[in-house]
Amino acid sequence: MSEKEITQAIIDDWKSKYGEIYKIGLGGEDYYYRPLRRAEYKTIIQGQEASTSFREEQIVQKCVIYPDITTESTAGTKAGIVSTLTDCIMMVSGFGVDTEPIKL
């Protein structure tokens, strides 16, 4: 499926399956992804022997809807793509601060 084949109907179908859908362009390719759910996050972080890069790959494989992400497909990508996608996924999943705290 090429970028021009991602129609509004496909996006609407993804929204009905996953809820929120996001798109970002990285390294000349568009990536469509969804937020990480709490239960998924807990499963991923429970593997204490797993490295940060392994966890990033798990998050990206779970949340990127298109294109299909596999360990093999990420091996040839630019080094920062998976980390950047992970940062984007984590941001839309509620990690980080969107607003400034109010001092009381």
pLDDT digits (tens, 9 = 90+) for 15-74: 999 999 999 999 889 999 999 999 999 998 887 667 888 899 999 999 999 999 888 888
CB atoms within 10 A of CB 78: 11
Prior bond of 67 cis (ω within 30°): yes
With beta carbons less than 8 A apart as the criterion, state whether 30 and 24 touch.
yes
Domain 3-92 in CATH 2.60.40.10? The answer is no
Residues contacting 65, CB < 8 A, separation 6+: 14, 18, 21, 32, 33, 34
List the one residue out of 56, 18, 52 whose CA is nearest residue 35: 18
Provide the residue ranges of all domains of the chain, joining segments of one domain with +. 3-92
Evaluated on CA atoms 73, 75, 79, 82, the torsion sign reads: positive
- Taking the whole predicted model, whether its pTM rises above 0.75 is answered as yes
